């Protein structure tokens, strides 16, 4: 989750293989209006959605992808440690950083690499320091993302949500600097959506950065990521879903209409 002052943010218990749970198919998961659950990413946001993304984006729009909390470790807003660490006593995935940042980095890097392979104009930004105390320091995600969005690009920050009742679930929190785009919309169709002014308007969206919550860092998502036998498949599936949504978001309006009609006829 995004930087908010004072906010802090298991092995598959079903004993079923990932293919049985449908994770391989989850990359093409059907759109859910509100709520519901996904076999890999878990519960989706049940909060009322009050926006629709219809602003076109150029097919070659520069897409900046960042890992949430990459500049706020060891201070308020460091991200969630996840249920495995906090509740089950598991070791962090990487010493010195919260588990959320570890997975944010893993997903963000894969999204950028896969996006480039598929012809998208994606690039990755990683701050030079893991702890930057001022949010408006020019090296933070916030500052770099704000400048990118102000120059006409699309800025996307990857997050995993808090476990338990503190978390909401997967979904998009759109940037607030201009009308919501078709990329915002396609990501919302793939992951769910939050209200535009979630928690009064988070720091990232107020600076022009769209936040994507992949899912709550608990079962079923966290065990699939932590288990070495399922990790790569889970990360690949998540990256594929994000990139497919980005691709759809930059397609001409006629393609969106055709996809909508096809979905309505199923």
* CA–CA distances in Å: residue 125 to residues 59, 148, 233: 21, 11, 24
d(CA 156, CA 72): 17
Phi and psi torsions of 213, nearest 5°: -85, 115
Strand, coil or helix: what is 113? helix
Strands 42-43 and 37-38: antiparallel
Instruction: Please state, as a whole number, how many other Cβ atoms lie within 10 Å of the Cβ of residue 137.
Output: 13
Would you state the pLDDT for residue 245? 98
- Whether residue 96 contacts residue 73, with contact meaning beta carbons closer than 8 Å, is answered with yes
Would you state the pLDDT for residue 159? 98
Would you state the pLDDT for residue 256? 52
Q: Which residues contact 19 (CB under 8 A, 6 or more apart)?
A: none
Query: Token pair of 91, please?
Result: 């070791």
d(CA 86, CA 95): 15
Q: Rounded to two decimals, what is the model's pTM?
A: 0.84
| Residue written as token pair 């908010």 | 4
Would you state the pLDDT for residue 11? 27
Q: What is the pLDDT of residues 217-260, one digit of tens each?
A: 999 999 999 999 999 999 999 999 999 999 999 998 765 554 44
Bridge partners (DSSP) of residue 153 are none
Would you state the pLDDT for residue 252? 83
Question: Tell me, what DSSP letter sits at residue 189?
Answer: H
Sketch the domain layout of the chain as residue ranges: 47-264
Return the closest-CA partner of residue 246 out of 68, 116, 150, 102: 116
The CATH class, in words, for 47-264 is alpha beta
- Whether residue 197 contacts residue 242, with contact meaning beta carbons closer than 8 Å, is answered with no
Query: Token pair of 252, please?
Result: 């001409």
End-to-end CA distance of the chain: 35
Would you state the pLDDT for residue 206? 95
d(CA 143, CA 133): 13
d(CA 147, CA 66): 13
d(CA 94, CA 170): 23
Profile the chain (266 residues) by mean pLDDT over runs of 10 residues: 35 31 36 74 96 96 98 96 98 97 98 98 98 96 98 98 97 96 97 93 94 98 98 98 98 61 40
- Whether residue 73 contacts residue 98, with contact meaning beta carbons closer than 8 Å, is answered with yes
């Amino acid at each position: 989750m995004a930087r908010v002052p004072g906010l802090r943010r298991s092995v598959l218990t079903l004993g079923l293989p990932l293919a049985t749970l449908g994770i391989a198919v989850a990359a093409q998961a059907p759109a859910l209006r509100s709520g519901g659950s996904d076999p890999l990413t878990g519960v989706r946001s049940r909060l009322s959605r009050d926006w629709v993304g219809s602003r076109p984006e150029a097919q070659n729009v520069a897409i900046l992808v960042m890992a949430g909390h990459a500049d706020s470790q060891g201070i308020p807003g460091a991200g969630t440690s996840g249920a495995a660490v906090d509740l089950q006593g598991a070791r962090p995935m990487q010493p010195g950083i919260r588990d959320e940042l570890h997975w944010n980095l893993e997903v963000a890097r894969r999204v950028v690499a896969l996006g480039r392979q598929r012809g998208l104009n994606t690039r990755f930004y990683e701050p030079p320091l893991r702890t930057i105390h001022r949010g408006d320091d020019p090296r933070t995600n916030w500052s770099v993302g704000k400048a990118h969005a102000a120059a006409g690009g699309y800025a996307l920050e990857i997050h995993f949500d808090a476990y338990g009742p503190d978390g909401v679930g997967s979904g998009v929190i759109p940037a607030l600097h201009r009308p919501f785009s078709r990329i915002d919309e396609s990501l919302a169709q793939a992951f769910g959506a939050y209200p535009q002014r979630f928690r009064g308007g988070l720091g990232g969206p107020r600076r022009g950065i769209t936040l994507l919550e992949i899912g709550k860092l608990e079962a079923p998502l966290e065990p699939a990521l932590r288990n070495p036998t399922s990790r790569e498949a889970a990360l690949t599936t998540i990256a594929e879903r994000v990139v497919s949504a980005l691709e759809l978001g930059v397609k001409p309006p006629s393609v969106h209409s055709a996809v909508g009609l096809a979905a309505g006829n199923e």
